[in-house]
Amino acid sequence: MAIRVGRWDCQVCDHKGILGPETHCPQCGAPRGKNVKFYLPDDSEAVQDEATLKEAKAGVDWICDYCGADNKAANTQCRSCGNARTQTDSGRQERVILNEPPPANEPALRQQDSSKIKRKAIIYFGIIAIVFALLFAVFRTKEVDVTVTGHTWERIVEVEKYIPVIEEDWSLPQGAKLKNSF
């Protein structure tokens, strides 16, 4: 019997068909979660790579009881918090999947997610509209006809003394020695 890579769907962003070994959603970065349902699509290919086969035969992945992170079966410590694997750490249930269709999400959950997305979209578009309105109000130009009736300009430069001077450099204090000069 050939080993095939199963898939799972992200419950946060509803991204579909994420490869089974992936522990985080590549789209939103959400962790896989404990209650994720795996499925095997009809077009899944058999695994040929030796390293992937070895990883698959190592056993089921496990979930750290301390921090809840997903870990590969070969790991003896949690990759997230470093906690050692114990008997109490829950392992994922190993099961054979025979062309099961992807799990259907509950319609109520889907509607709730879509309403959250719509609400966020409305808020974002509202903020963007307000920013554009403020920028328009600040940077808009308007023609105004004005007449200048008067203008004065005065400049005063005070010179203390107008005499030739001799510029001198600084001198060493008494008792000092010059080590080097540039």
The pLDDT confidence band at residue 85, using thresholds 50, 70 and 90, is confident
Q: Using an 8 Å Cβ cutoff, are 70 and 32 in contact?
A: yes
Tens-place pLDDT, residues 19-61? 878 888 999 888 877 778 888 887 777 777 788 777 777 777 7
**Better pLDDT: 18 or 97:** 18
**Confidence band of 145 (pLDDT split at 50, 70, 90):** very high
pLDDT of 70 above 80: no
Which two structure tokens, joined as six digits, stand for 3?
């080993």
The pLDDT of residue 78 is above 80: yes
Token pair for 162:
């107008």
The neighbouring-strand residues paired with 18 are 8
